[in-house]
Structure 1
Amino acid sequence: MAGIHLAVNGRSAWEDESTQGWVDLLHRLLMEGENSDAFDDTMGEIGMEMSVVDDPRVPMDNYRTVPEYSFVRVQAISENWSDAIQFIADRVIDTSFDDSDITEAAQEQLRIANKERSRLSSIASGQFADMLYGDNVRSAPIYGTETSLTDISMADLLEFRKDAFSADNLVLSVLAPAPTAQIIEVIEEAFRELPRSASHLPLQDMPTSTSGVDTVRASGRQGYLTTGFLIPDLPLQRQAAALLANVMVSDRIYRDLGEKKGWAYSAGSSLLIRNGWGAWMSRAKLPEEHLAESLEITYEHLSSIANGDFDEDRLEIARNDMRGSMLRRYSSRINLAMALSTDAVLYDEPNRTWLLYEQLGAVTLEEVKQAAYDLFHQPENIVTVYGLPEGEMEMPKGMPMGGMGGH
């Protein structure tokens, strides 16, 4: 199969309050317009499938829905790769959708947005993002709001589209059985009518935050704990060590809260990495009476790793776990194409994924311990959000603001 991935740079950076969610809306409209009834037959003839948004019916499918870019994912029979590129180009260039298409797509998107906003986990995550990232695209509502998705005029949407879907703003990756020069020639011919834009993607400063704690409530059966902090300086040469340190933290959190105590339905930590900065965060789904103690336990495990409480054997397990996960994820051509285009958007380095893979294999125990200490020892400006099911029970007494436990 050929793998083709189109990344639209910026997504939420192009939007303001009145246009929030419009990039996602434009993706939904890619499959509308003249002759849209024949699109399925055309794709069937090519032997291709195309995703323009994440499928809300598939659990955990929205990990690719991020504020920094949007995407078109295509898989096609290898020998028909050029036809697949032409189909993508035709959809990106075409603007023959009408007002009824806009209204229908916006209503569907608003249903998804409202459903997301009604879930306790989403409310807690949204509040955490607002507090952690502040006025930054990382906290933007990707799906939009009722205000921004109501009464959208064709003229306004087409004007907005000129920037987001311009030739200057798209990154296309193609993995197909053909010489590079031939692939480039096909791409240039297919997209030759796509105009450039005089506008430039608005620059985004690194987010800044202050420490804080908040509580949100919504219907639900379990509580949610979300806590973390920004890492303002995280260059490429330290990212592998930081990721390995986090793998060990996450494993300890899950084993303690999930397997040992049996409190958490899900628990663990993650390390978001962007171009030169990052954010560490931990999430757990568990009964609200265990939220306070779980927060303390989370930072005890982070402190333990920060103080170098692991050996070469434990590091090797984390190393192989992460490298194996990367190889499984990027074993398909479509996911490898995704890595190339999104790495170019997020890091200005299309080969960043494989540079990181090599570093994961080469980083030493001493380097991981140093990175763990530098990044996780006494973190500043910790943000914590508790998601509590609606009811009479108040937030547990003595619930801490968030901080390093022990050591």
Structure 2
Amino acid sequence: MRSSVKLGIAAALSILLSFYNPSLAFAVDITEVTSPGGIKAWLIEDRSNPIISMKFAFSGGSSVDPNGKEGLANLVAATIDEGAGNLGSQAFQAKLNDLSISLGFDAGREFFSGELVTLKKNKATAFKLLNLSLTSPRFDEEPVERIRTQITLVLQQRQDDPGYKAQATLRDLYYPSHVYGRPNDGTPESLKKIAVPDMKNYLRENIARANLTVAVVGDIDAEELGSLLDQAFDGIAQKAKLFSIPEAKPAIKGGTIILDEDIPQSEVLMTQAGIARDDPDYYAAFIVNHILGGGSFSSRLYQEVREKRGLAYSVGSYLSLLDQAPLLMASVATQNERVAEAVRIMKEQWSLMAEEGPSDQELIDAKTYLTGSFPLSFTSTGRVANILLAMQLNDLGIDYLDRRNEYLESVSLADAKRVAKRLFDTDSLTVVIAGRPEGIEQQTPLTTVP
């Protein structure tokens, strides 16, 4: 979809920052800016190139889509910059292209977000175009129907994607009556029901100063930014419609579900309850997951599944951090005749981590990698702005960059073993397999939570 393409353009426009030296990465000065109109933002000034990157988010996302009109937020994000004010779609896009301005929007589960990247000399026009998108989108018939058709085609193509089917099945089983159980991008049927008044209403109810978070990196100072913030967000509502996302507890716990797909290689997804980002044990969990499957070539899963046995090209695990539904997940794709062995090995490693935890050397190596590689996250204004935005959305504090590695270094071996035992639960693993795996059978979920 167009918004994804634009994010790629923004990455190309972003500049390399001089943060490869670990000692420099944590000496970054973050300024909290408050505009004359009261809009707050976090800013890192970088004068090395005349480029400004801004990331922003409004809470809500697709979780506030009305029942039966799933995909509304996503359709709004994909069409909001297809003409605004007195500029039609082609004229609006031409103005962006002529001035090398990248403007894109995205709708996730919990946030409706955007990105603006511009040369400093074009900042006034860039921020004005952003404002027009947010306050005066045209939603003309041609671009809306064109993009609706594009999204529908993507959704239809996904129906033939075994990996997507596994994810959708897991989502449906885990959260049958929760907003997290709905398709983020909607369905072909729900998209047909969305009309332009719905799209305008979404903006009116959910785009507001009270639920806005902003991060900026680039060639701009606090005073300039304050003025531009007021210009960019002038005319949006002060407060959004009240909403809350209830806690989402998985409706099933354990079991194996097989989706019959006539393909030579099965897609496997393994999931259990995870750990919240604000949990005191999060950093220990982050480390032990890195050791199990999050560390790519160095992880236990990679070594046991790929290197020693050649069962799969890639395998890994990760922490999924939706606010109301943290999960611990793992995935692998392998030939049907080898699925049973791959799943058995992964479960064995899951159990071993729970029972014994990591070794002292594994903990040392993980800390060395996670602290030493962190500066590589700071390679462009866009990536740094993303980090600043995430810091705010997760309430990490403006001094997080100075403290992040300390959090990791403070995790002791005893902490890691305790948290591994708390986190990894082989019995509660739900395994969804799309394919025709040999030597493994469908199981009724072990536990259905009322």
**Shorter-chain TM-score category?**
0.7 to 0.9
In the superposition, the TM-score normalised over structure 2's length comes to 0.77
What CA distance in whole angstroms lies between the structure 2 residues aligned with 1:208 and 1:97?
38
1:258, distance to aligned residue in structure 2 (A): 1.3
Shift of the 231–272 alpha-carbon distance from structure 1 to 2, 3 Å rule, reads same
Aligned to 2:61: 11
How many residues are treated as equivalent by the alignment?
Answer: 386
Q: Deviations over 1:274-320 (max 9, x none)?
A: 44862111100001222222222112112222233533322222223
Residue 322 (structure 1) aligned to one of 370, 373, 395: 370
Aligned to 1:178: 220
Deviates more, 1:238-247 or 1:297-306: 297-306
Indicate conservation of the 8 Å contact 2:271/2:329, yes or no: yes
Indicate conservation of the 8 Å contact 1:110/1:143, yes or no: no
Aligned to 1:22: 72
What CA distance in whole angstroms lies between the structure 1 residues aligned with 2:218 and 2:275?
38
Q: Deviations over 1:125-160 (max 9, x none)?
A: 111222234433433212111121115322232223
Q: Deviations over 1:2-60 (max 9, x none)?
A: 2211223221211133221111111111221234323344334543323335xxxxxxx
1:265, distance to aligned residue in structure 2 (A): 2.3
Aligned to 2:92: 39
User: For residue 4 of structure 1, what is the amino acid of its counterpart?
Assistant: M
User: For residue 289 of structure 1, what is the amino acid of its counterpart?
Assistant: E
Shift of the 396–130 alpha-carbon distance from structure 1 to 2, 3 Å rule, reads same
In the superposition, the TM-score normalised over structure 1's length comes to 0.84
What CA distance in whole angstroms lies between the structure 2 residues aligned with 1:379 and 1:82?
55
* SS, match of residue 200 in structure 1: coil
* Mapped pair 1:313 → 2:361: yes
User: For residue 90 of structure 2, what is the amino acid of its counterpart?
Assistant: D
What percentage of residue pairs aligned between the two structures are identical? 19
What CA distance in whole angstroms lies between the structure 1 residues aligned with 2:74 and 2:114?
11
User: For residue 318 of structure 2, what is the amino acid of its counterpart?
Assistant: S
What CA distance in whole angstroms lies between the structure 2 residues aligned with 1:321 and 1:133?
35
1:218-229 mapped onto 2 (5 Å cutoff): 218-229=261-272
* SS, match of residue 31 in structure 1: coil
Indicate conservation of the 8 Å contact 1:5/1:341, yes or no: yes
* Mapped pair 1:75 → 2:114: no
Indicate conservation of the 8 Å contact 1:248/1:305, yes or no: no
Deviates more, 1:88-97 or 1:201-210: 201-210
Shift of the 196–15 alpha-carbon distance from structure 1 to 2, 3 Å rule, reads same
Indicate conservation of the 8 Å contact 1:173/1:340, yes or no: yes
Aligned to 2:201: 159
What CA distance in whole angstroms lies between the structure 2 residues aligned with 1:254 and 1:402?
27
User: For residue 177 of structure 1, what is the amino acid of its counterpart?
Assistant: D
What CA distance in whole angstroms lies between the structure 1 residues aligned with 2:286 and 2:434?
27
User: For residue 368 of structure 1, what is the amino acid of its counterpart?
Assistant: A
Indicate conservation of the 8 Å contact 2:265/2:333, yes or no: yes
Indicate conservation of the 8 Å contact 1:118/1:218, yes or no: no
Indicate conservation of the 8 Å contact 1:343/1:352, yes or no: no
* SS, match of residue 376 in structure 2: helix
Deviates more, 1:101-110 or 1:161-170: 161-170
What CA distance in whole angstroms lies between the structure 1 residues aligned with 2:418 and 2:124?
48
User: For residue 312 of structure 1, what is the amino acid of its counterpart?
Assistant: D
Q: Deviations over 1:159-215 (max 9, x none)?
A: 233123333333222123333343123212332211244511333323333223311
Shift of the 28–273 alpha-carbon distance from structure 1 to 2, 3 Å rule, reads closer
Indicate conservation of the 8 Å contact 1:89/1:191, yes or no: yes
Aligned to 1:189: 231
What CA distance in whole angstroms lies between the structure 2 residues aligned with 1:106 and 1:229?
34
* SS, match of residue 149 in structure 1: helix
Unaligned runs of 5+ in 2: 1-50, 294-298
Indicate conservation of the 8 Å contact 1:13/1:137, yes or no: yes
Indicate conservation of the 8 Å contact 1:136/1:207, yes or no: no
* SS, match of residue 118 in structure 1: coil
Aligned to 1:334: 382
Indicate conservation of the 8 Å contact 1:236/1:276, yes or no: no
Indicate conservation of the 8 Å contact 2:217/2:385, yes or no: yes
Residue 287 (structure 2) aligned to one of 244, 249, 255: 244
* Mapped pair 1:50 → 2:140: no
Indicate conservation of the 8 Å contact 1:268/1:282, yes or no: yes
Deviates more, 1:158-167 or 1:278-287: 158-167
* Mapped pair 1:231 → 2:284: no
What CA distance in whole angstroms lies between the structure 2 residues aligned with 1:81 and 1:358?
37
* SS, match of residue 370 in structure 1: helix
Q: CA RMSD in A?
A: 2.8
Unaligned runs of 5+ in 1: 54-64
Shift of the 38–320 alpha-carbon distance from structure 1 to 2, 3 Å rule, reads farther
What CA distance in whole angstroms lies between the structure 1 residues aligned with 2:374 and 2:177?
32
Aligned to 1:262: 310
